[in-house]
């Protein structure tokens, strides 16, 4: 019966049990639950294996395919290595949230229908917010709230699209679609928000670097890559994605070049790398989709590795700004080497995983005759080496001597980094290990002499450019404005302006009303009031002598009698 | 700060940095020279030119750094920018 229990629930159960368990039992649960999940992932057969009626729709919480198992595998593996990295340092609730978050990602992998996809999607949004909050600082709390608002908004947009599709087509099946009408556009936008696509890319670099050293490792893996999987399943070959992807690639490079915070540099390079995948999905050929899937797999490994090495630095020194760091290679050799392997992999250096996966995407662009896309991808490969491949290790581990002499990584963090560094090299040297699990059969050959020479020239001369342009890249104590400036500052300024304007108008109205009342008071005092001395009285308040009064009464009565008789 | 730093790690000594630069230049020259013997398959004509990868890589980086620098003038703010906005 366990074969029919969706793997996501195994990990979710593990997440629930982390809290009540203590000591070694908890450690065993942290390390065991992802491995059991990994085993369960490989028991999921192709096709739909579970159908349940839900609100009048048949939902399919468990549908298997090569692509879905590939993503679920790397998510489970990521949970295991992330757990190993974190279990002695992170608080139990951060671990539990991390596993619940990972179970959401695995649930999305096997979702056979849009309703299941949405439920697990929101599970991820919920627990990733908790992980941001686990950063524990006021900045982390504020960033977490902004993060949650963005993802709840994305969820609402996605839900609108799903409702529309369900009502208009009568089916909630996950199947390839194109952005041709309002419903499909809403689904596409909802997914793209999670992929950190423009114009809403800022949430990623805003929130991830505020989390704890261990939390950022979990955050780097799941949200954007489930979005990539959802795009492969729902929008393969959607042409708009090509240019969305190219924009993300360039955005990531430029912002990472301007950035001073080491973990924020890595966060921007997530957007950059996801851009490669989104672009590949837009190209949409079998080779391109293979490339997107393979690159997502390799990316999760080397990006987590990079965040782990940065995490060790933050854990040991409490600093993450390039201006505060430097020269750490002296006392942190393991972290330095693992960071460099991650950096070379993200730069798609030959013999690392990035080379064997990213070149598939470039090849797909070349095969499709997309000249501009091909050359932009090549330029971006050079740019990745520039902004992440050299910049990150250089400014953190080399550069100047910051005087810091921290200890190297604790054993569990070191072990986690070694495992992922080994996978980076393994996929780089024996790419067939990964290629056999790709969604489409492929005879792609990664290593051809000419291609290796081309990429070596491209990358090494980018390296030369980095060191020659180093004076232009001096780190400054700055941040860079992004689109979120519009609501973090501009909207507030407009709000303040409106508030002040309303205040001025209100004050004017109040003053006017006050003046009217004063006039009324003066008027009534003049005719009805009594002066302070009691002698001077208003016209209608003065006392009349009895003689005058009786005379007037006599005059009035006479006038009345006269009028009566006439 | 000891300018000679002979007691420092091998990687931080000026002599080793000079050596590393020489090795780097040699490797750069080798990758371009390798192009003489190894046929680089081009897809769009220009990418078959001799040393295209080297020139393209270098120039792309140059352009990206300059563009980033220019945008930086517009986008860069003090690191406490948002906190200051919050307290206004």
Kind and range of the H or E run holding A95:
helix A92-109
What single-letter DSSP state applies at residue A389? I
State the pLDDT at residue B49: 86
Task: Look up the ipTM and state it.
Answer: 0.89
Provide the shortest C-alpha distance from residue A23 to chain B (in Å). Answer: 40
How far apart CA A294 and CA A564 sit, in angstroms, is 114
φ, ψ (nearest 5 deg) of residue A20? -70, -25
Which chain A residue's Cα is nearest to B67?
Answer: A254
**Biggest alpha carbon–alpha carbon distance for chain A:** 134
Report, in angstroms and rounded to the nearest whole number, the Rg of chain A calculated over CA atoms: 34
CB proximity B53 to A under 8 Å: yes
Interface of B with A in 62-81 (CB under 8 A): 62, 64-65, 67-69, 71-72, 74-79, 81
How far apart CA B80 and CA A368 sit, in angstroms, is 47
Using CB atoms within 10 Å of the CB of residue B55, give its burial: 0 to 12 exposed, 13 to 18 middle, 19+ buried.
middle
How far apart CA A269 and CA A275 sit, in angstroms, is 9
Contact A342, A350 (CB under 8 A): no
Using CB atoms within 10 Å of the CB of residue A55, give its burial: 0 to 12 exposed, 13 to 18 middle, 19+ buried.
exposed
How far apart CA A162 and CA B71 sit, in angstroms, is 38
Alpha helix (H) residue ranges in A134-201: 138-169, 182-194
Q: For A199-213, give the secondary structure using H, E and C.
A: CCCHHHHHHHHHCCC
Sole residue written with tokens 């009895």: A546
State the pLDDT at residue B1: 43
State the pLDDT at residue A1: 43
DSSP A506-556: HHHHHHHHHHHHHHHHHHHHHHH-B-TTSSSB-TTTS---HHHHHHHHHHH
How far apart CA A224 and CA A244 sit, in angstroms, is 14
Interface of B with A in 20-49 (CB under 8 A): 24, 27-28, 31-32, 34-35, 38-41, 43-44, 47
What single-letter DSSP state applies at residue B11? G
A284: left (phi over 0), alpha (psi -120 to 50) or beta: left
Contact A294, A435 (CB under 8 A): yes
Name residue A391's beta-bridge partners: none
Which CA distances in Å does A23 have to A26, A49, A87, A215? 5, 37, 11, 21
The gap from C-alpha B87 to its chain's centroid, in whole angstroms, comes to 40
Contact A298, A353 (CB under 8 A): yes
Hey, is A480 helix, strand or coil? strand
Judge: A382–B34 Cβ closer than 8 Å, yes or no: no
CB proximity B13 to A under 8 Å: no
Judge: A327–B12 Cβ closer than 8 Å, yes or no: yes
pLDDT in tens, B60-70: 999 999 999 99
**Hey, of A461, A473, A476, A496, which one would you mutate to test binding to chain B, going by the most B CBs within 10 A of its CB?**
A461
Contact A113, A233 (CB under 8 A): no
Q: Which residues of B touch A454 (CB under 8 A)?
A: 40, 47, 52-53
Provide the shortest C-alpha distance from residue A88 to chain B (in Å). Answer: 31
Provide the shortest C-alpha distance from residue B41 to chain A (in Å). Answer: 6
State the pLDDT at residue B3: 47
Q: Chain A to chain B, count of Cβ pairs less than 8 Å apart?
A: 145
State the pLDDT at residue B6: 56
Q: Which residues of A touch B35 (CB under 8 A)?
A: 453, 457
Closest CA to A388 of A304, A488, A487, A306: A306
How far apart CA A40 and CA A84 sit, in angstroms, is 20
A320-330: burial string, b at 16+ Cβ within 10 Å, e else: bbbbbbbbbbb
A190-207: burial string, b at 16+ Cβ within 10 Å, e else: bbbbbbbbbebbbbbbbb
Contact A360, A290 (CB under 8 A): yes
How far apart CA A404 and CA A552 sit, in angstroms, is 107
Q: A493 Cβ partners below 8 Å, 6+ apart?
A: none
State the pLDDT at residue A544: 76
Per-residue tokens: A146: 């902004």
- Given the DSSP bridges, would you call strands A478-480 and A57-64 parallel, antiparallel or unpaired? unpaired
**Hey, of B60, B71, B73, which one would you mutate to test binding to chain A, going by the most A CBs within 10 A of its CB?**
B60
pLDDT in tens, B12-62: 888 888 999 999 999 999 988 888 888 888 788 787 888 888 999 999 999
Of A398, A458, A469, Cβ closest to residue B65: A469
How far apart CA A411 and CA A522 sit, in angstroms, is 87
Provide the shortest C-alpha distance from residue A473 to chain B (in Å). Answer: 8
State the pLDDT at residue A5: 77
The H helix count followed by the E strand count for chain A is 23, 3
pTM as predicted: 0.88
State the pLDDT at residue B2: 44
Of A461, A466, A479, Cβ closest to residue B54: A461
Closest CA to A473 of B4, B62, B30: B62
Kind and range of the H or E run holding A51:
strand A47-54
State the pLDDT at residue A34: 95
Closest CA to A423 of A338, A501, A508: A338
- Given the DSSP bridges, would you call strands A47-54 and B76-78 parallel, antiparallel or unpaired? unpaired
Judge: B72–A480 Cβ closer than 8 Å, yes or no: yes
566 residues of chain A, pLDDT tens digit each: 445 678 999 999 999 999 899 889 999 999 999 999 999 999 998 988 888 888 788 888 899 999 999 999 999 999 999 999 999 999 999 999 999 999 999 999 999 999 999 999 999 999 999 999 999 999 999 999 999 999 999 999 999 999 999 999 988 889 898 888 999 999 999 999 999 998 899 999 999 999 999 999 999 999 999 999 999 999 999 999 999 999 999 999 999 999 999 999 999 999 999 999 999 999 999 999 999 999 999 999 999 999 999 999 999 999 889 889 988 999 999 999 999 999 999 999 999 999 999 999 999 999 988 889 999 999 999 999 988 889 999 999 988 888 888 989 899 999 999 999 999 999 999 999 999 999 999 889 989 988 899 999 999 999 999 999 888 888 888 888 888 888 888 888 999 999 999 999 999 999 999 999 999 988 888 888 776 676 677 777 777 788 888 999 999 999 999 999 88
Contact A424, A352 (CB under 8 A): yes
Contact B5, A416 (CB under 8 A): no
What single-letter DSSP state applies at residue A50? E
């Amino acid at each position: 019966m366990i074969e029919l229990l969706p793997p996501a629930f195994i990990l979710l159960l593990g997440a629930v049990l982390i809290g009540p368990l203590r000591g070694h039992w908890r450690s065993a649960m942290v390390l065991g639950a992802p491995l059991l999940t990994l085993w369960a992932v490989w028991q999921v057969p192709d096709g739909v294996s579970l159908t349940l009626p839900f609100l009048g729709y048949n939902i399919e919480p468990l549908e298997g395919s090569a692509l879905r198992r590939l993503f679920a595998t790397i998510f489970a593996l990521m949970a295991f290595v992330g757990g190993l990295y974190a279990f002695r340092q992170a608080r139990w609730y951060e671990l539990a949230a991390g596993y619940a978050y990972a179970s959401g990602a695995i649930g999305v992998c096997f979702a056979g229908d849009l309703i299941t996809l949405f439920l697990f999607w929101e599970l991820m949004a919920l627990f990733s917010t908790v992980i941001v909050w686990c950063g524990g600082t006021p900045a982390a709390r504020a960033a977490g709230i902004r993060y949650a608002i963005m993802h709840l908004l994305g969820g609402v947009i996605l839900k609108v699209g799903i409702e529309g599709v369900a009502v208009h087509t009568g089916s909630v099946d996950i199947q390839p679609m194109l952005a041709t009408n309002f419903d499909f556009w809403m689904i596409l936008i909802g997914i793209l928000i999670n992929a950190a696509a423009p114009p809403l890319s800022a949430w990623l670099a805003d929130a991830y670097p505020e989390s704890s050293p261990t939390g950022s490792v979990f955050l780097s893996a799941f949200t954007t890559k489930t979005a990539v999987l959802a795009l492969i399943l729902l929008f393969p070959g959607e042409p708009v994605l090509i240019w969305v992807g190219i924009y993300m690639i360039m955005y990531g490079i430029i912002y990472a070049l301007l950035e001073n915070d080491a973990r924020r540099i890595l966060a921007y390079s997530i957007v950059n790398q996801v851009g490669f995948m989104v672009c590949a999905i837009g190209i949409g050929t079998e080779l391109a989709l293979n490339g997107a899937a393979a690159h997502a797999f390799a990316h999760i490994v080397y990006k987590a590795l990079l965040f782990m090495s940065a995490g060790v630095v933050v854990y040991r020194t409490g600093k993450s700004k390039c201006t505060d760091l430097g020269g750490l290679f002296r006392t942190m050799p393991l972290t330095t080497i693992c960071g460099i392997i991650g950096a070379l992999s993200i730069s798609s250096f030959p013999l690392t995983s990035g080379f064997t996966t990213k070149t598939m995407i470039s090849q797909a662009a070349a095969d499709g005759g997309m000249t501009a896309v091909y050359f932009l991808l090549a330029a971006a490969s050079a740019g990745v080496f520039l902004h992440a491949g050299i910049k990150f290790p250089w400014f953190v581990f080399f550069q100047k001597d910051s005087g810091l002499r921290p200890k190297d990584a604790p054993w569990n963090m070191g072990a986690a980094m070694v495992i992922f560094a080994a996978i980076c090299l393994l996929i780089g040297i024996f790419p067939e290990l990964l290629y056999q699990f790709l969604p489409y059969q492929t005879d792609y050959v990664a290593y051809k002499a000419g291609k290796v020479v081309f990429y070596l020239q491209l990358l090494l001369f980018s390296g030369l450019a980095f060191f020659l342009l180093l004076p232009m890249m001096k780190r400054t104590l700055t941040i860079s404005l992004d689109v979120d400036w519009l609501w973090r500052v501009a909207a507030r300024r407009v709000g303040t302006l409106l508030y002040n304007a309303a205040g001025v108008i209100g004050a004017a109205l109040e003053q006017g009303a006050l003046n009217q009342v004063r006039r009324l008071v003066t008027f009534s005092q003049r005719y009805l009031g009594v002066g302070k001395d009691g002698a001077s009285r208003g016209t209608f308040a003065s006392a009349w002598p009895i003689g005058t009064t009786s005379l007037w009464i006599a005059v009035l009565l006479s006038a009345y009698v006269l009028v009566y008789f006439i | 700060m000891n300018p000679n730093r002979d007691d420092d790690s091998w990687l931080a000594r000026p002599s080793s940095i000079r050596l590393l630069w020489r090795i780097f230049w040699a490797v750069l020259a080798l990758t371009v020279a390798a192009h003489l013997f190894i046929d680089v398959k081009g897809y769009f004509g220009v990418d078959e030119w001799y040393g295209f990868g080297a020139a393209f890589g270098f120039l792309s980086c140059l352009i990206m750094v300059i563009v980033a620098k220019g945008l930086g003038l517009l986008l860069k703010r003090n690191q406490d920018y948002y906190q200051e906005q919050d307290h206004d």
